[in-house]
Amino acid sequence: MCLFCFMDVTMKEATPMAGTLIPPTLNKRPVNNNKGPKQTAPQEMECTPANQDKSPPKKKKAPSKPSTLESADLFKATTEGVSREVSMLASKFAEVLRERAAADTSQMKELEGILAEARNLESYLKEKKNHLRQTLALISDKLLG
């Protein structure tokens, strides 16, 4: 189906509804109420695929080759741009690494503090345990003897 036939069919199928257009259904078949053989419209007869092949092929325009001076300038500008991008990315990466190293150092100091506190608590509890044993032994000796 050619573009003009498609546009004609879609314009006939589109119906306005509350100020908006409903897109036509592409697989919609026309209803034939006269139960006879379907007659084709003159527009449909004009739009055959055979007519589409008769248009002359389009010629592609060959790209003009830039001079070596222009291509060298283009290459230099491109490499400078890429160099700036790489430098910017490297500096951002270095900054992220510095921030991460600072955060890791902070966390390590915090963990070392927690570990020292746990060791102090452990030694305090061991002292308390030994003191309790001595007290219980003293009480036991007094009761027995």
Question: Per residue in 61-119, pLDDT tens?
Answer: 665 555 677 888 888 999 999 999 999 999 999 999 999 999 999 999 999 999 999 99
Whether 16 shows a pLDDT value over 50: the answer reads no
The single-letter code of the amino acid at 85 is E
Most confident listed range (29-38, 44-53, 64-73): 64-73
Domain boundaries of the chain, sorted by first residue:
112-145
Euclidean distance between CA atoms 81 and 95, whole angstroms? 21
Residue-wise over 38-47: b if at least 16 C-beta within 10 A, else e?
eeeeeeeeeb
Task: DSSP for 66-83, please give it.
Answer: PPHHHHHHHHHHHHHHHH
pTM for the predicted model, two decimal places: 0.40
Most confident listed range (9-13, 41-45, 50-54, 58-62): 58-62
Euclidean distance between CA atoms 90 and 92, whole angstroms? 5
Look-up of token digits 């007659």: 39
Q: Which of 26, 25, 23, 7 is nearest to 15 (CA)?
A: 23
